[in-house]
Structures are given as structure tokens and as C-alpha cells.
């Protein structure tokens, strides 16, 4: 286990070093409506304005106790205000959570949009993939919140997912641009199928990197270090390859 822990630490150290070196090129700035763009910000004093202070404390509750523990009463208690005070800005716990999620999706979409654009379609897709993983590593709490947490009713909170849909539209555009660089046999009838394929690869990488499951595998450090680029290369290979012939549907004999 000690060697495995060292391998994992080596991977995370490399990821952290890559993040620092890539930051200037990524041209990413803190989101203007997000009070928590750095992990250490959650440990600072909450903002004086109550609306923003509620967002700040909601994130702290989610990080420390899980989203199930979030309530307006708990937020008020932590802020030292009356139990009714947060209701001035958020009619319910779901309204507060929806605003937290909305901001996380907005920051995520802006991060993808701020990536350096590449003229070659596959290079641009790689740039988007790196931006996706970069956000997941920089903001693990927000990433888990938007992709791994039961969310409030989207119909009751229509603005919550607006920027999330925009983020997927960015991926759709990047995938659609691949058609100019691959044969017709590699193009699905609906490009959203390939967008979902790319998303599943990136989400899988981001999720694995945030869990302790890797420690149980005793993988050597070179494998850990090469994991991201290998997955991205395999992803590109699959997108360039001709699609398999559709399997005929067999009808059951009566």
C-alpha cells in the first residue's frame, strides 16, 4: 500500500504541477458570480452581504456534511443570523441549492469556453478535454455537485441548468467540427452520440481521479502518469475509426 500511495501522490503532484504551468495558457479568470473559485476561499470569512454569505455557507455545509445536510436553518445557524433571515433571498432550501448549482455550471461552461482554440479539430477537442479535466481538478467540490448530486427540480428552477446545456453545446460544436477531419464512415447519423461518448470518457477520468479506488490497484507510477493522455489518444482513435455495421435485430420465434 505504501508504494501505491506514493504512486498516487506522484500522479496528483504531477497533475498539480501541470495545473500551475497550464494556468497562464488557459486564460481562465475567476467567475465574477462565484465566491469560491479557490479551495481556500471556503475557509475565509463569509461575505457581509447575506445573499452571497448564504452561498458561501451552503458550499461549506455540502463539503463538510454532504448535500443532504443543507438547510436554510443550518446556513442561518452558521452565519449567526435569525432562522428567517435567509428566506429574504431564498424561499426554500431548493432555491438556495439551485443557485449554487447554477453558479457551478456557469463557472464550468466559462472554463470550457476560455480554452485556447486550435485550428485542427482534433487538437481543439483535446484542448477542451484538458479544460474539462482542469476544472474537475481545480474545483472538485463544484464538479461533484453538478455531476454527482441529486439536483432540485429543473422545471421549478429553469435557470439552474441553462449554462450546463451551453457547456454540452460547446462539446457538440467541437465534435461536429471533427467531420472535416475524418471519413464519412466514422460519422454517426447524430453527432450527439459522439458528444456523449467523449463526455463519458472525460467524466470517467475526472471521477477516477477524485476517488481513492486507485489506491487498491497498486498501479505503478508510469501508468498513473500516462493515464490521461492514453485515454485521450484512445478516444481520438475511436472517433476516427469507421463505425461498426449495425447489428440486425433478431425477431424471436413464436
- Please provide the DSSP assignment of 96-125 as one string: HHHHHHHHHHHHHHHHHHTSPP-SSHHHHH
**How far is it, in rounded angstroms, from Cα 214 to Cα 218?**
7
- Tell me the CATH number of domain 2-28+101-240, given options 1.10.40, 1.10.3470, 1.10.357, 1.20.120: 1.10.357
How much is the pLDDT for 20? Answer: 36
pLDDT at 248: 74
pLDDT value at position 18? 39
pLDDT value of residue 118: 96
Q: Indicate the SS3 state at residue 211.
A: coil
Taking the C-alpha atoms of residue 24 and residue 112, their distance in angstroms, rounded to an integer, is: 15
pLDDT of residue 68: 94
> What distance in Å separates the CA atoms of residue 35 and residue 33, rounded to the nearest whole number?
6
Collapse the DSSP code of 89 into the 3-class scheme (helix H, G, I; strand E, B; otherwise coil) and give the result.
coil
pLDDT value at residue 213: 82
Report the pLDDT value the prediction gives residue 29, as an integer from 0 to 100.
38
Residue 60's contacts (CB-CB under 8 Å, 6 or more residues apart) are 42, 78
Residue 224 has which C-alpha cell? 498513473
| Half-sphere exposure at residue 7, Cβ-oriented, CA atoms within 13 angstroms | 21
pLDDT at 202: 97
233 vs 130: CA distance, rounded Å: 12
Q: What is the pTM of this model?
A: 0.78
The tens place of each residue's pLDDT in the chain, 254 residues long, gives 334 333 334 444 444 343 333 333 334 334 444 444 343 344 455 556 999 999 999 999 999 999 999 999 999 999 999 999 999 999 999 999 999 999 999 999 999 999 999 999 999 999 999 999 999 999 999 999 999 989 999 999 999 999 999 999 999 999 999 999 999 999 999 999 999 999 999 999 999 888 888 778 888 989 988 999 999 999 999 999 999 887 777 777 66
Q: Where are the domains of the chain?
A: 2-28+101-240
pLDDT at 246: 77
Amino acid at each position: 500500500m505504501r508504494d501505491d500511495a506514493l504512486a498516487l501522490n506522484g500522479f496528483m503532484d504531477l497533475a498539480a504541477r501541470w495545473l500551475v504551468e497550464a494556468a497562464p495558457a488557459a486564460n481562465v479568470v475567476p467567475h465574477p458570480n462565484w465566491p469560491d473559485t479557490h479551495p481556500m476561499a471556503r475557509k475565509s470569512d463569509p461575505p457581509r452581504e447575506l445573499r452571497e454569505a448564504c452561498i458561501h455557507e451552503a458550499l461549506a455545509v455540502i463539503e463538510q456534511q454532504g448535500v443532504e445536510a443543507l438547510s436554510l436553518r443550518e446556513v442561518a445557524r452558521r452565519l449567526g443570523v435569525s432562522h428567517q433571515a435567509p428566506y429574504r433571498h431564498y424561499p426554500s432550501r431548493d432555491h438556495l441549492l439551485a443557485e449554487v448549482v447554477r453558479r457551478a455550471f456557469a463557472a464550468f461552461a466559462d472554463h470550457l469556453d476560455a480554452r485556447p482554440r486550435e485550428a485542427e479539430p482534433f487538437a481543439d477537442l483535446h484542448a477542451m478535454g484538458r479544460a474539462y479535466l482542469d476544472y474537475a481538478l481545480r474545483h472538485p467540490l463544484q464538479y461533484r455537485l453538478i455531476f454527482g448530486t441529486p439536483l432540485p427540480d429543473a422545471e421549478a428552477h429553469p435557470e439552474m441548468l441553462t449554462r450546463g446545456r451551453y457547456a454540452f453545446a460547446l462539446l457538440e460544436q467541437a465534435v461536429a467540427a471533427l467531420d472535416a477531419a475524418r471519413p464519412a464512415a466514422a460519422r454517426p447519423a447524430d453527432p450527439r452520440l459522439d458528444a456523449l461518448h467523449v463526455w463519458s470518457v472525460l467524466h470517467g477520468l475526472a471521477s477516477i481521479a477524485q476517488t481513492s479506488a486507485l489506491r487498491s490497484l497498486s498501479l505503478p507510477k508510469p501508468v498513473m502518469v500516462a493515464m490521461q493522455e492514453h485515454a485521450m489518444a484512445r478516444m481520438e482513435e475511436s472517433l476516427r475509426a469507421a463505425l461498426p455495421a449495425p447489428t440486425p435485430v433478431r425477431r424471436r420465434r413464436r
